[in-house]
Chains A and B, each alone.
Chain A
Amino acid sequence: MTTTTITTGVPSGRGRAWRMLTLTELKLLWRSPAALFWGIGFPVIGLIVLGAIPGTGKPVKALGGISVLETYLPIIITFMIIMTSVNFLPSTLTSYRERGVLRRMFTTPVTPQALLAAEVAITFGAQIVTGILIIILGVGIFTASIGAPLAFIVSFLLLAAAASTLGLLVAAVSFTAKAANALGAVLFFVLMFFSGLWLPRAEMPDWLRGISDATLTGSGVQAVQNAMAGHWASGLFFGVLVAWTVVCGALAIRFFRWE
Chain B
Amino acid sequence: MHKEYGPKVAVDDVSFTVEAGEIFGILGPNGAGKTTTVECVTGLRQQDRGRISVLGLDPQRDHNELREQVGVQLQDGQLPDKLRVREALQLYASFYSQPADADELITRLGLDDRRDAAFEKLSGGQKQRLSVALALIGTPKVAVLDELTTGLDPAARREVWGLISDIRATGVTIVLVTHFMEEAEKLCDRLAVIDHGRVIATDTPSGLAGRAGGEQYIHFSVSEPLDSGELAVLPHVHSVRRDGGEFALTGDEEALQAVMGVLIKRGIVARHLRLDQASLDDAFVALTGKDQ
**Residue ID in chain A nearest B75 by CB atoms:** A100
Q: Contact at B91–A20, with CB atoms within 8 Å? A: yes
Stretch of B8-16, B82-90, B178-186, B258-266 at the chain-chain interface: B82-90
Say yes or no for B168: interface residue by CB 8 A criterion: no
Complex contacts, A173 vs chain B, CB 8 Å = none
In the docked arrangement, what's the CA distance between A5 and B90, Å?
14
A65: Cβ under 8 A from any B Cβ: no
Query: Are B77 and A104 within 8 A (Cβ)?
Result: yes
CA distance A21 to B80 in the complex (A): 12
State whether the Cβ of B44 lies closer than 8 Å to any Cβ in chain A.
Answer: yes
Cα distance A32–B80 in the bound complex, in angstroms: 11
Identify B78's interface contact among A13, A20, A32, A100, CB under 8 A.
A100
- Residue tally, chain A, CB below 8 Å to B: 26
What is the CA–CA distance of A32 and B118 in the complex, to the nearest angstrom? 13
Query: Given A31-B82, A107-B42, A107-B44, is A21 in contact with B91 using a C-beta cutoff of 8 Å?
Result: yes
Report the separation of the CA atoms of residues A110 and B138 in the bound assembly, to the nearest whole angstrom: 12
Q: Are B91 and A28 in contact (CB under 8 A)?
A: no
Determine if A13 and B96 form an interchain contact, defined as CB atoms under 8 angstroms apart.
yes
B78–A101 touching, CB < 8 Å: yes
CB neighbours (8 Å) of B83 from chain A are 24, 28
Residue of B with least CB distance to A99? B78
Does more than half of chain A's interface fall in helix, strand or loop, or is it mixed? helix
Which of B64, B79, B95, B96 has most A Cβ within 10 Å?
Answer: B95
Scan residues 217-233 of chain A and give those whose CB is less than 8 A from a CB of chain B: none
Q: Which single member of B87, B94, B96, B98 contacts A27 (CB below 8 Å)? A: B87
Q: CA–CA, A104 to B119, complex, Å?
A: 15
Q: How far is the CA of A5 from the CA of B101 in the complex (A)?
A: 13
B116 within 8 A of A: no
Contacts of A103 in B (CB 8 A): 44, 74, 77
Contact A107 B72 (CB under 8 A): yes
The tally of residues in B whose CB lies under 8 Å from a CB in A reads 27
When the two chains form their complex, are residues A110 and B74 in contact, meaning their CB atoms are under 8 A apart?
no
B87 near A108 with CB under 8 A, answer no
**A61 CB → nearest B CB, Å:** 50
A31 to B96, CA, bound (A): 26
* Known contacts A28-B82, A103-B74: A109-B64 contact under CB 8 Å: yes
Contacts of A110 in B (CB 8 A): 95
Count A/B pairs, Cβ under 8 Å.
70
Given contacts A100-B74, A104-B77, contact A20 B44 (CB under 8 A): no
Contact between B78 and A108, CB atoms less than 8 A apart: no
B193 interface contact, C-beta 8 A: no
Q: Within 8 Å CB of B80, what residues of A? A: 28, 96, 101
Please report the C-alpha to C-alpha distance between residue A20 and residue B67 in the assembled complex, in whole angstroms. Answer: 19
Is A108 a contact partner of B42 (Cβ separation < 8 A)? no
- Is B170 close to A, CB under 8 A? no
Is A53 in contact with chain B by the CB < 8 A criterion?
A: no
Q: Mark B53-75, 1 if CB is under 8 A from A, else 0.
A: 00000000000100110111010
B133 to chain A, nearest CB (A): 12
Q: Contact: A17 with B79, CB < 8 Å?
A: no
B76 at the interface (CB under 8 A from A): yes
Q: Are B67 and A108 in contact (CB under 8 A)?
A: yes
Check: A6 CB closer than 8 A to any chain B CB. yes
Shortest Cβ distance from residue B134 to the other chain A in the assembled complex, whole angstroms: 7
Give 1 or 0 for each of A101-133: 1 = CB within 8 Å of chain B CB: 101101111100000000000000000000000
Task: Mark out the residues of chain A between 16 and 34 whose CB falls within 8 Å of any chain B CB in the assembled complex.
Answer: 16-17, 19-21, 24, 27-28, 31-32
Taking A6-B98, A96-B80 as known contacts, 19 extra A-B pairs with beta carbons closer than 8 A to each other, sorted by chain A number, are A6-B97, A13-B94, A13-B96, A16-B94, A20-B90, A20-B94, A24-B83, A32-B82, A99-B79, A101-B78, A107-B42, A107-B67, A107-B70, A107-B71, A108-B92, A108-B95, A109-B67, A109-B138, A110-B95
Sampled A-B contacts (23; CB under 8 Å): A6-B98, A9-B97, A13-B96, A13-B97, A16-B94, A20-B91, A21-B91, A21-B94, A27-B82, A28-B82, A96-B80, A100-B77, A101-B78, A101-B79, A101-B80, A103-B77, A104-B77, A106-B44, A107-B44, A107-B70, A107-B74, A108-B95, A110-B95
